[in-house]
Chains A and B, each alone.
Chain A
Amino acid sequence: EVQLVESGGGLVQPGRSLKLSCAASGFTFSNYYMAWVRQAPKKGLEWVATISTSGSRTYSPDSVKGRFTISRDNAKSSLYLQMNSLKSEDAATYYCSRQNNTGTTDYWGQGVMVTVSS
């Protein structure tokens, strides 16, 4: 059974940093692209970042480029999201997700909440 378990969320002040982690199990982690998707309270879904199987390629939208860094450790079947210079608009539930070979996110974690407030 595919499982994605996020951790590392919490309350952080604007301008500070936070690192999210995602522990994957139930599949061969190193064979899949992985992604982070977020959802602000009562809002829709927003893709945040994707990383290739080896970690050599990453993709992210302009809204987080230069502030957020996605990374992975295939030996530990873990995905990470380093978030720097956080803004109030980054407050959301962050989902770890698996991308299949068509680029679709086929499995999602339960999500971890990030609150940005002074």
Chain B
Amino acid sequence: DIVMTQSPSSLAVSTGETVTINCKSSQRLLSSGNQKNYLAWYQQKPGQSPKLLIYLASTRESGVPDRFIGSGSGTDFTLTISSVQAEDLADYYCQQHYSYPLTFGSGTKLEI
């Protein structure tokens, strides 16, 4: 199984700051066939279901603000939130969608 290690577990920031969340996989998530990295990021606001933000490491889901940026390749990935807004208060999870069993990181709680 691919183990996803996410850091930090929590982060306190002020609005307007830039935030970086890291995710490391125990195996490479890069497909040799299409050269794409199978890593997704989700946002879960308090009391809500998760919402897809980023997939294939850097592709933003439709409707997601462009302040959410996914980057990285191989085994090391980053979610950057530029100019954090109060509405970004949430838990953030990475997930590998490279192979079964699908696995998630342990989450990062963003506190504003």
Contact = CB atoms under 8 A, between A and B. Distances in A.
Contacts of A10: none
A6 to B, nearest CB: 10
Interface in B71-85: none
A50 interface: yes
B104 A50 contact: no
Contact of A47 (B56, B101, B107): B101
Contact of B103 (A47, A60, A106): A47
Contact of A95 (B50, B55, B61): B50
A102 B101 CA distance: 14
Contact of B101 (A61, A107, A109): A61
Interface string B82-102: 000000000001010110111
B50 A103 contact: no
A103 B38 contact: yes
A108 B52 CA distance: 9
A60 B95 CA distance: 15
Interface of A: 35, 37, 44-47, 50, 59-62, 95, 100, 102-111
6 contacts: A47-B103, A100-B55, A102-B38, A106-B52, A106-B61, A109-B49
Interface of B: 1, 38, 40, 42, 44, 49-52, 55-56, 61, 93, 95, 97-98, 100-107
